[in-house]
Structure 1
Amino acid sequence: SSADSFAMIRGGHIALSILGGMQVSEKGDLANWMVPGKVVKGMGGAMDLVAGVKRVVVVMDHVEKSGAPKLLKACTLPLTGAGVVDLLITDLGVFEVGRGKSPLKLTALASGVTLDEIKAKTEAEFEVGL
């Protein structure tokens, strides 16, 4: 049940949380629960998921539909958690995130993606560890 699952999460019994993101900052901040101007009934359980686990993996598109980066110096959307992301997987690559420490480290490129493409579509600072 939902009550049991959140008791497990809030009690620190879950080791890994994998969730989607709208934005991630270079310090591992996550924004994934609200877009300004949209009606939201509540923040849901994402804040519990990032606060009550040992490791957080975020999976998301690298850029918005407009082409704007989603991997930013600082999130512009309301935060779900500050410095909570350990690993970020996008459609372009994989980044290790140091939970509040900069810089990010690019550890893998998606097939057919170049380092120049990642640089052009990423606002956050990162080092290359391929």
Structure 2
Amino acid sequence: MNNDKFFKILSIIFKFISCMIISSIALSLFITIYQYLFNGLSISYFIIYLPFISLFYLIFCVPLQLILYNKVTKYNLKYLLIYIIISAIVNVLIIDATFRNKFEVILTIIVSSLIYWFFDSLLLRKKK
């Protein structure tokens, strides 16, 4: 493998990891601020949320992102819909949405999808 291919692959991997990390931080901040404002929980919960959110993004979004990579342009609403569907499945089946109220579940689904879709479009999609 020549150096150009190696650095191109390395660059793509870096973009995927960056997207996951930035999205995880953004969603963790959103949830922490929401919990602080409406439930009075400590802002230090950010430290607890970040690894779990990163794990969920790594397990569910990054593989989907790999499948969809280079298929469409930035800010495609089809991708947002796909991310919303996956987020809904994860929130309802895996995170067990029964202990949260419906508004928080829907808010989490929409916000987590929007954040990941935004950074996915910003970091990985072509400008076409």
| Shorter-chain TM-score tier | under 0.3
Larger-Rg structure:
2
- Length-normalised TM-score, structure 1: 0.26
- Length-normalised TM-score, structure 2: 0.27
Select the structure that is richer in helix: 2
Select the structure that is richer in strand: 1
